[in-house]
Structure 1
Amino acid sequence: MKFEIAMEPMASPRPRFSSKGGFVKAYMPKEYMAWKAQLLFKWKLLKLKQEVSGKPLFVKLSFYLDPPIAVSKIKKNRAALEAETMPVVKKPDIDNLQKSVLDALNKHAWPDDNQISDIYAKKRYSLRPRIEIEVREVE
């Protein structure tokens, strides 16, 4: 299955900690939890079936991020932005982008993300921010 989610990619942040009542509790920031919920909501709108074969899965993730103003205003960058060929070599880290998508779709697009044996990811600047996801069985 191959699908696209029209939203700005977000990297998985580090957990936060609070110590109320003498207990230390870990939690994720509210903005991140809201982003994950929105991604899952958009995935459910696509009405795709979960990949439940039990076989190893290959996942391809393409992250298209909104370019900074300094990049988008330069005329020579325009063609690369339109062709979506300009790599992102700054934050967010690609592994944290992967984690956010895999965590959000776990138990929805696949039964458990431990089923993923192969993964490919890229991040590019684009005038149309989105996440493209492809899931297929490993041959």
Structure 2
Amino acid sequence: MLELNFTIKGEPTGKGRVRFFGGHAVTPKKTRTYEAQIRYEASHAVEHMVEQPDFSAPCSVRISAFYQIPASYTKKKRMQIAEHGCSVVRPGKPDLDNVIKSVLDGMNGIVFSDDVQVVRLSAEKFWCEGDETPRVDVRVKWEEV
């Protein structure tokens, strides 16, 4: 089973809601920029694969989003997170489903022909530990057909 792993550096960003202006759909600039960064990281990772997969085959995707602890958090909250590590679930925005949408849309046409090929999906949100930087780790496994 072929596997691809890559990291998208920076704070995880959810897909923004499309707005309509004069009958035209406009995707927010922040979403377009983030998806371009995903396309760059994904294509770079695919180029460095030793063996190329069948990009039309079904695949499974695992997404792990790591967020910076806000400076506004109290010392008590920070100690709780430090005590339990990154396993403490990170609640709040952006919604995990919107982060998934950004990542899958950013990989369309690069990692798979279309995200309809994703047959298994798992995603989690975590706090960064210590001096870790915010990021999204992505793992794609292609099913053998």
Q: Same fold (TM over 0.5)?
A: yes
Residue 20 (structure 2) aligns with = 17
SS in 1 for 2:125: strand
Residue 99 (structure 2) aligns with = 97
Mapped partners of 1:90, 1:78: distance in 2: 15
Residue 134 (structure 1) aligns with = 139
C-alpha RMSD of matched pairs (Å)? 2.2
Residue 29 (structure 1) aligns with = 28
Deviation of the 1:73 alpha carbon? 4.2
Going from structure 1 to structure 2, the CA distance change for 1:72 and 1:55 (only over 3 Å counts) comes to: farther
TM-score, structure 1 normalization: 0.83
Mapped partners of 1:40, 1:121: distance in 2: 19
Mapped partners of 2:106, 2:64: distance in 1: 16
Please list the CA deviations of residues 27-58 of structure 1 after superposition, one character each: whole Å capped at 9, or x if unmatched: 10112111211222233333345642533211
Say if 1:72 and 1:78, in contact at 8 Å, map to a contact too. no
Mapped partners of 1:38, 1:119: distance in 2: 21
Q: How many residues are paired up?
A: 134
SS in 1 for 2:87: coil
Please list the CA deviations of residues 47-77 of structure 1 after superposition, one character each: whole Å capped at 9, or x if unmatched: 3456425332110000111121233744513
Mapped partners of 1:61, 1:118: distance in 2: 11
Mapped partners of 1:117, 1:44: distance in 2: 21
Say if 1:56 and 1:115, in contact at 8 Å, map to a contact too. yes
Say if 1:71 and 1:77, in contact at 8 Å, map to a contact too. no
Please list the CA deviations of residues 72-131 of structure 1 after superposition, one character each: whole Å capped at 9, or x if unmatched: 7445135257x3212112111111000000001111111211110110000111142111
2:41 is the counterpart of 1:42? yes
Say if 1:51 and 1:111, in contact at 8 Å, map to a contact too. no
Unaligned runs of 5+ in 1: none
